[in-house]
Structure 1
Amino acid sequence: MFNYTSLDDHIYCLQRTPLPAQLSIDLIRADTFYLQDKDDECRQILGEIEQKCAELNIKIYRPMPISFKAADWYRQQALEAYQTQIDWSE
């Protein structure tokens, strides 16, 4: 398995990967286990999906890394948007 921060991240990346029909069905099963808090079962299915992807030479989607400078800019934009929604006149 890739080193994601959570099973949710792992599922997200696999959902954005073009998978054959059977692997898509397996991913839905894994997602269902995840939603039912059955992390061990989910993790096992995700590992099987990744192994099959490697055998079929399917590249798994990975988000582009974001630089710290860009992350700070997005954080500042969100903070400014939040602050403009607050009525400071009270």
Structure 2
Amino acid sequence: MIERIKQGWTPEQIGNRMIYEGAKQRVCQETIYRYIYSKEGMDQELWWYLPLHRKNRTPRRDRKRQKPKFDRDVSILFRPDDVTCGAR
């Protein structure tokens, strides 16, 4: 696993490759990230091989929320008559 990280693989790629190959012991991407940012991983400077090269991981609560996909001001009740279905 460490060799693949040093080759430039992301934890997502490593975890999915383990599933694809049918490995007996599988690890999810979160476990790989936790190892990278653990004391052992920091001693080996494994964070440097990640795509963003972040030394400290951003906590989940600090990550930005995505914008809503639909505008909340527009209701389905106010749709035009030509859009309504014929099942009245």
Shorter chain as denominator, the TM-score bin is 0.3 to 0.5
- Provide the TM-score with structure 2 as the length reference: 0.34
Mark the structure with the bigger radius of gyration. Answer: 2
Greater relative contact order, per chain length (Cα 8 Å cut-off, separation 6+): 1
